[in-house]
Amino acid sequence: MTLPTPWQPPDYWSSRYDDLVLPAGVSRVSLGEGGTPLVSAGDTLLKCDHLNPTGSYKDRIAAVGISIGVAHGYSGWIGTSSGNAGAAYAAYGARTGLSGRLFTVDGAPREKLAQVEAHGVDVSEVVGFGKDPNVEAGVFAAVKRIAAAERLVVAITARAFNEASMAGVKTIAFELVEQIGSAPSVVYVPTGGGGLVASLWDGFAEWQALGRATTAPRLVAVQATGCAPIHLAAQAGADTVAPIDACHTAISGLQLTNPPDGEAALAAVRASRGWTVAVDDAAALAAQSILAQRYGVFVEPAAATAYAGYLADPVPGAVVLLTGSGLKTLAATKAAGRPRRLHVEDIDRSFPRSAG
């Protein structure tokens, strides 16, 4: 009996982009990442990268990182995450048989950790990680040390630790130019560790250098006011990003007191003639509600932070990059509550009557 050809995920970016994000001769591991929609929302456009296979843009990074790991014969991966990168590496690792070990920030959302654990990954929450710069430095050093000793993929989504994998982010820039027909004028980017902003700029600059775009956008790095070292550096006109003593935002994904790619992000913002914005947690949650209730787009608070930055400092026609699904952090929304309970005979009475 002849077996049918196994179904393969849509190969959206491989034929056009692989030579720009993968070393020569490396075959890409895929779950169908990329090709996420660009939808209108009033005067702006939303790049819905929360619709990647595991629910975040980190799939683009994991696809590259795991592909390189397989090509080099690595036995597994080890990394840090608030949950999104962990879920991406867990899924792509599972597809290739590479086991993983993840160290998460202190207080990472349970929904994110459950997604990682579903793939059989060993997850540990490190006390003070994401809240204390000394703890952050210690965790990163330990991961690098173990990865080198055990020949493991370094699954830290920062250029400072894994520049090769971060090349996957460039495909967002490539797609935006193709979807719009030209480079957008402005892109608002949620910013924690800084790697997303820096690598996004690499993509736009590379596309322009290749002659596939005549311009590049201005990038707006949006941080949470409770953890905004990049914004503070930009406001001060500094060339370096100083660590802050503690992190005071509850927004998962943006909790880094000493961003590994802080200087790279700062340089990208300035090279693009962009700027930075800081918004508080309440503004991010309000933006999350607006996106869900007005435009039908449900994202996590970290992603909504970018939209909150747009609302605080709007540029019509700009693109807002949405990075993670709202299903990742249900506890942060009203969606986590139980619905009211009714008996069947109460249904009619519960429906509001029109006047007259």
pLDDT for position 317: 95
pTM of the predicted structure, to 2 decimals: 0.92
Report how far apart, in Å, the C-alpha atoms of 90 and of each of 30, 44, 101 are. Answer: 13, 33, 9
pLDDT for position 205: 97
How high does pLDDT run on average in the chain? 92
Residue 1 banded pLDDT, cuts 50, 70, 90: very low
The domain ranges of the chain are 38-53+168-335, 57-165
Residue whose entry in the numeric block shows the structure tokens 């802080």: 262
Using the predicted structure, report yes or no on whether residue 155 has a pLDDT greater than 80.
Answer: yes
Using the predicted structure, report yes or no on whether residue 75 has a pLDDT greater than 90.
Answer: yes
Using alpha carbons, select from 193, 324, 205, 323 the residue that is nearest to residue 266.
193
pLDDT for position 354: 58
Residue 268 banded pLDDT, cuts 50, 70, 90: very high
Percentage of the chain beyond pLDDT 70 is 93
Q: In sequence order, what are the beta bridge partners of 125? A: 104
One of 3.40.50.300, 3.30.70.3040, 3.40.50.1100, 1.20.120.450 is the CATH number of 38-53+168-335, namely 3.40.50.1100
Q: Is 43 exposed, middle or buried (0-12, 13-18, 19+ CB in 10 A)?
A: exposed
Q: What is the pLDDT of residues 219-260, one digit of tens each?
A: 999 999 999 999 999 999 999 999 999 999 999 889 999 999
Residue 9 banded pLDDT, cuts 50, 70, 90: low
Q: What is the pLDDT of residues 94-118, one digit of tens each?
A: 999 999 999 998 888 888 889 999 9
Region 77-81: mean pLDDT is 94
Angle at 307 between CA 269 and CA 327, to 5 degrees: 120
Region 194-221: mean pLDDT is 97
Using alpha carbons, select from 291, 6, 17, 320 the residue that is nearest to residue 171.
17
pLDDT for position 356: 46
Region 334-345: mean pLDDT is 73
Of 314 and 16, which is predicted with more confidence? 314
Region 134-147: mean pLDDT is 94
pLDDT for position 8: 54
Asked if 38-53+168-335 and 57-165 have one fold, the answer is yes
Q: CATH assignment of 57-165?
A: 3.40.50.1100
pLDDT for position 229: 97
Q: What is the pLDDT of residues 287-316, one digit of tens each?
A: 999 999 999 999 999 999 999 999 999 999
